[in-house]
Structure 1
C-alpha cells in the first residue's frame, strides 16, 4: 500500500493496484460559499493533478472535500464514489460514473478493492457525511478514513483495521469547542480498531489560511502528545507524519484472511 499526502484532507491511496484520489483540493484557493473574508485557504505551490486515477472518493459535499475547481480539472469519465451530498456536486459538474454510498453500503472497485461507507461527520442538525473503509481484497489489508474525527461505534465490527487516517489534534473555536476532533477521539478509535499505523489529516500540508475565522481557530494537542497517549495506553501503533507530496510505502504485516 502506498500513500501520498496532498495537503489538507487530500490523499492519493494506492491499494490493490488501484489509484484512489481522496477528497482532492489540488488547484486554486479554498473558500466556503465564496466568502474569502471569512475563510480562505491558499497553496504555497499548485499541486500537479495525479495521472491514471481509477477512482475519485469523496467523503463530504463541502468545498474542502468536494472542491469544485479541482473536480473541474479532472476527467469527468473517472469513476466517482461519494456521499449523497458530494454526489450532487459531481452530478452538477457532469461526471458520468457516479456511485452514491449511504452508511453501510459498499462498492467493489475493479474486483480489487472494497469501499464501504461508514457514519462520519455531522454537518448541521440532520446530515451525517461519510467515513470509509477500504479493503484490499487479495490480502485483507484495510484502511479507515474519517476527516473530522467522528467515529461510529459500529466500526467495532470492522476491527482490526491496519491503517487509520484521521485527525490527531483538535481544532477548536471559542464557545463552540472542537470542530476537528482528534486527541481523545483518535485514541478511542485506536483502542477500538487496533491499527498498525495512524496518520494525521485535515490540519497539515503546504497550505496557508486567512480570514476572520482563522483568528479564532486554535489547535489543541500535537502529534508528539498523541504518541505519548498511545504509549500510556499500551497501544503499539506507529504514527507517521507524511511529508507533503512525497509517495511512501506502508510496511504492513498481513493479517490472516477470514474464511
Structure 2
C-alpha cells in the first residue's frame, strides 16, 4: 500500500495493485472557486499528482461536507460514475451535481473498496455528527488510520484497533480561542500511542495559510515537530511525502 501526501493541505492518494483512492481531494490552486472575503486559500501548484494519476483514480473518500473536503471543482475532474464514500449530507450535494455512485458510510459498517476494507467511525467533537474517521486495511493486514480534525478517544479505545500509520492533524486550531477544531502535536502523539502507530502523516497542514474573515476567529499555532526527541514517532509533513506499507 502506497500512501502519498498529495498536496500542502489534506489531499491523500492511496494506491495498491493499480487501484487508487483520493481522500478529500483539492486539486486546484484556489480553494474557494468564487471570490470570498470569508474563506480562501491559494497556492502556486495544485498538487503533486499528475494528470494521469487523477485520470486513473478508482474511488474517492470525502470525510466531511465542508468546502475544503467536498471540493466540486476538483471532483468535476473525475468521472460522474466514480465510487464515492461520504457522509449523508455530502451525498445529497453530490447527487444534485450528477454523481451517480455515492455511498453513505455507516459507523462501524465495513465497506470494500477495491483491494481495501474501509471501516468508518465517528469523528471527535465538534465533528461527531458531520464527519467520520476511518481505518483502511489491505489483504496483508497493513492498516492506516485517518482523521481530518479531532480523534474520538473513547471510540479508539473501544475499537482497540492498531495501525501502521496515522493520518492526523498536528497543528492546533481553535475557534475564538475556545472550541478546538484540530489537534496539536501532544494529542496527535497520544493518538499514535493508542493506535500503536510508529508513523504520523500530518493532515490539514499549514492552516495559517487560510485567508479571509475566518482568520479573525481562528487561533492557530504552527507545528512543533522540531521539539520531537530522537526515538519519538516519525512524522511526515511535506507535500510529496510517501509511506509504503
Q: Secondary structure at the match of 2:228?
A: helix
Gap change, CA 1:236 and 1:225, over 3 Å in 2: closer
Gap change, CA 1:84 and 1:113, over 3 Å in 2: same
Equivalent pairs counted in the alignment come to 239
Q: Report the alpha carbon displacement of residue 82 of structure 1 after superposing the two structures with TM.
A: 0.9
Q: Secondary structure at the match of 2:191?
A: helix
Q: Report the alpha carbon displacement of residue 99 of structure 1 after superposing the two structures with TM.
A: 1.4
Aligned partners of 2:32, 2:135: CA distance in 1, in Å?
28
Given that 1:59 and 1:83 are in contact with CA atoms closer than 8 Å, whether structure 2 keeps it comes out as yes
Q: Counterparts in 2 of 1:211-230, with a 5 A limit?
A: 211-220=212-221, 222-224=223-225, 227-228=228-229
Q: Secondary structure at the match of 1:155?
A: helix
1:79-122 deviation line (CA, Å, top 9, x unaligned): 11112222222212111111110211211123x10011111154
Two-structure CA RMSD over aligned residues (Å): 2.7
Q: Secondary structure at the match of 1:85?
A: helix
Q: Report the alpha carbon displacement of residue 53 of structure 1 after superposing the two structures with TM.
A: 0.7
1:234-253 deviation line (CA, Å, top 9, x unaligned): x75222223x2x36343x4x
**Aligned residue number for residue 108 of structure 1:** 112
**Aligned residue number for residue 141 of structure 1:** 142
1:203 aligns with 2:205: yes
Q: Report the alpha carbon displacement of residue 67 of structure 1 after superposing the two structures with TM.
A: 0.7
Q: Report the alpha carbon displacement of residue 202 of structure 1 after superposing the two structures with TM.
A: 0.3
1:125-183 deviation line (CA, Å, top 9, x unaligned): x824111110002x000000001123242223342211100001202243434321223
Q: TM-score, normalised by structure 2?
A: 0.85
Aligned partners of 1:220, 1:249: CA distance in 2, in Å?
26
Q: Which runs of 5+ in 2 are unaligned?
A: none
1:46-77 deviation line (CA, Å, top 9, x unaligned): 34552311111110111111111111221111
Gap change, CA 1:247 and 1:220, over 3 Å in 2: closer
1:117 aligns with 2:120: yes
Higher strand content, 1 or 2? 1
